[in-house]
Amino acid sequence: MPANPEHEILGQHVAASRAVGGGCIDDARAVELADGTRCFVKFARDADAAARLAAEADGLRRLAPHIRVPRVLEEGKRHLALEWLDMRPPSGPRDAEALGSALAALHRHHGTAHGLDRDNFIGPTPQENAWSGDWAVFFTERRLRPLIVRLGRLPGESGILRRVAERLAGHHPAPSLLHGDLWSGNHAMAGGAPVVFDPAVYFGDAEADLAMLELFGPRLGDAFWRGYGGEPNGREARRPVYDLYHALNHLIIFGPSYEGMVRGSVAKLGGE
């Protein structure tokens, strides 16, 4: 049971609870309520988690009209209850094509600028989302600079931001609705369809989601691109930019074991 066994979910006592995957930041549990309802619940591990869980719920609600996500059942001060889905890992070309089609539908939902009307989080890290009409400015100033400042010790800081701006120069993508943290552990199959979860939502370059899909997993193959409608031109040149953001965030969260990933991304940008 979680730290507060008397905790009520949806106005009911918790009849049974077991730990499940998804608890890297908070305590993730499969919960059965008194009436037999099953749900997935995140219980906060720290006193500052309320804002983080609220941002996650907000992101899921924004995604829900455009791609399958677990439905938000309840937001509490220290917990977030979601619909229970029987998930399995994607397997084979059919699942890859279905994911491509689902992401294409999500990315076709456009905003008027890059960002969001609220800040949120990527994992436990605050994520700034103030609007910008210029994607290069948004990514350097709202994504990379805050993490570099927070680390305070990244070599070649100003040079990195300059090289990123150069790499994104002339690239003016439509502001697509993004999952924002779409690594291989944040999507699955449920009921024969792709489902995504643990978002860090904002409007930006669709290629940022595509790059994250490949960061800790295999390259996206022909089946995925068939579903997505083709691979964007010039994507490979911009991929290290988007990889750098997540490498920096992992360095902040998990420490020195990710310094090599950061240096690899910087090297691909022509840096140290």
181 noted as active-site residue: yes
Q: Are 178 and 209 in contact (CB under 8 A)?
A: yes
- Give every CB contact of residue 55 below 8 A, 6+ residues apart in sequence: 118, 119, 120, 121
Catalytic annotation, pick one of 27, 181, 198, 205: 181
H/E/C letters for each residue in the chain? CCCCCCCEECCEEEEEEEECCCCCCCEEEEEEECCCCEEEEEECCCCCHHHHHHHHHHHHHHHCCCCCCCCEEEECCCEEEEECCCEECCCHHHHHHHHHHHHHHHHCCECCCEECCCCEEECCEEECCCCECCHHHHHHHHHHHHHHHHHCCCCCHHHHHHHHHHHHCCCCCCCEEECCCCCHHHEEEECCEEEECCCCCEEECHHHHHHHHHHCCCCCCHHHHHHHCCCCCCHHHHHHHHHHHHHHHHHHHHCHHHHHHHHHHHHHCCCC
Instruction: Check: CB of residue 74 under 8 Å from CB of residue 199.
Output: no
Task: Let me know: does 237 contact 266? Beta carbons within 8 Å.
Answer: no
Distance CA(143)–CA(164), nearest Å, equals 11
Active-site residue list: 181
